[in-house]
Structure 1
Amino acid sequence: MRVALVSMYTTHHEETGATRRLRRTAELLAERDHDVFVCCAQWWGGEVAEFKQNDVTYYRVTETPSSGRFASKIPFILREISPDVIQVASYPPSHVTAVKTAARFLRTPVIADWWNRDKRGGSRAYKRAAKAPNAVLVPSEMVRTQVRELGTSVSATQVVPEPINMGLVRDSSVEERADVVYSRELDEHANVESFLLALAELRDKGWSAAVIGDGPERSTAEQTARDLRIDDRVEFLGELPADEAVPIMKGAHVFAQTATVEPFATNLLWGLACGCVSIVEYQARSSAHELVEGRERGSLVTSPQELADEIVAARGFDHCTIDDDFARYDFRHIVDEYETVYDAEIDDYGFF
């Protein structure tokens, strides 16, 4: 199958949840021997129009990111590639409608991959983008609700979550480095303060904690730990690759999730798969609660005090290093879901 993934931005331009999802999807499809083309602004050097990396062909639409120029040129690029299916990122939203217009002439179905509403996009453009595709893929029910509120029909939306590598979870060793773990990019939405405040409530109890992740708010979080006088018991480990983070999660007993914005809580999913008792602070713009609702080894809280209480209560659970209930999120199953959607949309489009 020839698959065109359209996104002006890639991880080479900016590291966001949307661009990371694009890269993972492209590389997983390429591993399945699909011909994968990422139509994007150029990020590589030289005059060549194509650049291949990890079996994915990156195809230049514009030399630099420019929303208007990209939208005007993408129809000609898609005609050159002649894909069987087109998947387009939801930002910028004007690109979704541009791709849909081009696809009518190519007689090719369009699928939008909707990570989150980017604040740089306009509300009218997003409403048009939500109604344009043949199908819309979302990472969580929370995002699905957002897209439906913009006008997408119920039947056109499908949840395809982020993947993890269960083989890595099963094969990794156990590193007993911390009792409680927090893991996420430390940006303005990380809300590490809630996690640290909960730990401070338990300063008279024996525990150790680790914060995995890096970002612009790391120094602030470290200062907060010092101000709360728990810095000697909280280790800031920085960003770690999965093969280093997983053993620490397998050695921990509790995973705490407090971020205020989370289209899909991938790090929480890793913690759950590693057997952690997982405690989620409910946030209106986070889907993390979806992963723990109804689970015995998971709970929802609304404040640092409740988080502290649940950390104490977690002692009532046996330590566990693998939870096979989350094997359904393995990358092999997730790429199957993408292929199923593609095949269905191609068949439906061809029927008419």
Structure 2
Amino acid sequence: MEIAVVSFETVYHRDAETNRRLHRILQLLQDQDHEIDVYCARFWEGDLPTFERDGITYHGLAPDLESQGKFLAKLPTELARTNADVVHLSADPAKQVLAARSGTTLARVPTVLEWYGAGGVPNDWWSRRAAKWADRIVTPSELVGTWVRELGADGDDVDVVPNPIDVARIRSVDPGDPVDVVYARDLDEDANLESLFLALAELRDRDWSATVIGDGPERDAYERLASDLRIDDRVTFAGDCSLEDRIATYRGARVFVQTAEHCVFPTEMLWALTAGCVGIVEYHTDSSAHELVEGWDRGFRTTSAEELADAIVDAGQLEQRDFDDRFADYDEATVRDRYLTIYRSVQESAGLF
């Protein structure tokens, strides 16, 4: 299958969550020998109009990220002459979705809009128009799907496709040292690690250990908070760790706690749950993490530090595991096949398949 991808910014411009998601999906498709052409701003040296990397061809329609206007002006013409079977568009920025419309209409090629929503979903004119235009919209969670429907998207046109993980890789890593509670995230203003620390402080009279994986601007503040709460002797700040080291920690841990206030898809939590951890989520309106544990007997949803402390105690009574096949459908191959099914569906609806 030939797939044209529109994404003004790529992971090679900025290593952001939205860009990583799209890049991983494209890698999975390319691994199956699908032909991928990405229309973007140039990220390579020199004036060459195209650049191939890891089997994917990038078309630089603008010299840099400061030239969005030039990119938007060239995009319709480029897409009008594409031979792609489907055009996969990023919703960030929404202006590129509207710029692509005339080109894809002339080329008679169906469109799939990737709306990841890591920075939220703005309710502006461009976003509302984009939500009503694409043939199908893909979001990482029901939370983002709801945001997009609120913009006016037809609910039947919205598909939830989660971030993928490599399930086999989890089995290939030996469990690490036992730990009762693990937390993993960038330690920024949305981390909300204080909720976990307040819960752990409630359990001072019990025997427990905790590991915090990740680094960021709030790390010093959280280390001071652990000291102020007199739990710093039982909390290990591991900093940034490789994926293999994180998997080993999860396979040796009993509980993974997610308290972040904003999360469109809890990828790190998914790794941990598949590695056998019990999942505890503090509910927040701008987080989809609770979606992973709803209706699951090894998952807890809490709304306060007191409930979180009780959930940690209850989770300690559950069976220790180092793998859980409940999450096999989140494997990379399955997620890739879901995209291919969506592509073929929009082709069929357009009478092209």
Alignment of 1:302-317 (within 5 A): 302-317=303-318
The Cα shift of 1:128 comes to 0.6
1:36 maps to what in 2? 36
1:193 maps to what in 2? 194
Q: TM-score if structure 1 supplies the norm length?
A: 0.95
In structure 2, the CA distance between the partners of 1:41 and 1:311, relative to structure 1 (3 Å rule), is same
1:145 maps to what in 2? 146
Contact kept, 8 Å, 1:91 with 1:121, in 2: the verdict is no
Q: TM-score if structure 2 supplies the norm length?
A: 0.95
Three-state SS of the structure 2 residue aligned to 1:350 is coil
2:2 maps to what in 1? 2
Three-state SS of the structure 2 residue aligned to 1:236 is strand
Gaps of 5+ in 2: none
1:276 maps to what in 2? 277
Contact kept, 8 Å, 1:170 with 1:322, in 2: the verdict is yes
Contact kept, 8 Å, 1:210 with 1:236, in 2: the verdict is yes
The Cα shift of 1:350 comes to 2.7
1:323 maps to what in 2? 324
Three-state SS of the structure 2 residue aligned to 1:23 is helix
2:55 maps to 1:55: yes
Identical-residue share of aligned pairs (%) = 43
- Give me the whole-angstrom Cα distance separating, in 2, the residues matched to 1:61 and 1:200: 54
Q: How big is each residue's C-alpha offset from its partner over 1:85-113, in whole Å with a ceiling of 9 and x where there is no partner?
A: 11111111111111122100111111110
The Cα shift of 1:119 comes to 5.8
Contact kept, 8 Å, 2:82 with 2:107, in 1: the verdict is no
Three-state SS of the structure 1 residue aligned to 2:351 is helix
2:167 maps to 1:157: no
- Give me the whole-angstrom Cα distance separating, in 2, the residues matched to 1:230 and 1:52: 51
- Give me the whole-angstrom Cα distance separating, in 1, the residues matched to 2:188 and 2:39: 28
Alignment of 1:250-289 (within 5 A): 250-289=251-290
The Cα shift of 1:226 comes to 2.4
1:239 maps to what in 2? 240
Contact kept, 8 Å, 2:81 with 2:107, in 1: the verdict is no
Question: Which AA in structure 2 matches 1:173?
Answer: D
Q: How many residues align?
A: 352
The Cα shift of 1:76 comes to 2.8
1:223 maps to what in 2? 224
Contact kept, 8 Å, 1:11 with 1:23, in 2: the verdict is yes
1:20 maps to what in 2? 20
- Give me the whole-angstrom Cα distance separating, in 1, the residues matched to 2:202 and 2:143: 31
The Cα shift of 1:73 comes to 1.5
Contact kept, 8 Å, 1:274 with 1:323, in 2: the verdict is yes
1:67 maps to what in 2? 68
Q: How big is each residue's C-alpha offset from its partner over 1:27-53, in whole Å with a ceiling of 9 and x where there is no partner?
A: 111101011122211122222222222
RMSD (CA atoms):
1.7
- Give me the whole-angstrom Cα distance separating, in 2, the residues matched to 1:171 and 1:117: 30
Query: Where has structure 1 moved over 6 Å in runs of 4 or more?
Result: none
Three-state SS of the structure 1 residue aligned to 2:316 is helix
